[in-house]
A = this chain, B = another copy of it.
Amino acid sequence: MKENQYDNPLFFEKYAQMERSKKGLQGAGEWHALQKMLPDFHGKTVLDLGCGYGWHCKYAADNGAAAVIGADISQKMLDTAQQKNAAPSVRYVCAAMEDLTFAENQFDIVLSSLAFHYVRDYEPLIKQIATWIKPGGSFIFSVEHPVFTSYGSQDWYYDESGKILHFPVDHYYEEGKRTAVFLGEPVTKYHRTLTTYVGALLQNGFTITQLIEPQPPLCMMDLPGMKDEMRRPMMLLIGAIKL
Contacts and interface: CB of A to CB of B under 8 A. Distances in A.
Given A169-B147, A202-B208, A193 B157 contact: no
Nearest to A193: B213
A174 B215 CA distance: 11
Interface string A24-36: 0000000000000
A70 to B, nearest CB: 28
Given A147-B169, A169-B232, A172-B230, 17 more contacts: A151-B166, A157-B165, A157-B166, A165-B170, A166-B168, A166-B169, A167-B169, A167-B170, A171-B230, A171-B231, A172-B232, A173-B213, A194-B194, A195-B213, A199-B212, A202-B209, A207-B208
Contacts of A231: 169-173
Interface of A: 147, 150-151, 157, 165-174, 193-195, 198-199, 202, 207-213, 215, 230-233
Contacts of A172: 147, 213, 230-233
B212 A195 contact: yes
A173 B208 contact: no
Contacts of A208: 198, 202, 207-208
Contacts of A173: 213, 215, 230-231, 233
Contacts of A215: 173
Q: How many copies does the complex hold?
A: 2
5 contacts: A165-B170, A166-B169, A167-B170, A172-B233, A173-B213
A56 B40 CA distance: 44
A215 to B, nearest CB: 5
A168 B170 contact: no
A86 to B, nearest CB: 35
A200 B166 CA distance: 28
A211 B232 CA distance: 21
Contacts of A166: 151, 157, 168-170
Contacts of A174: 230
Given A147-B147, A232-B172, A202 B210 contact: yes
A207 B231 CA distance: 29
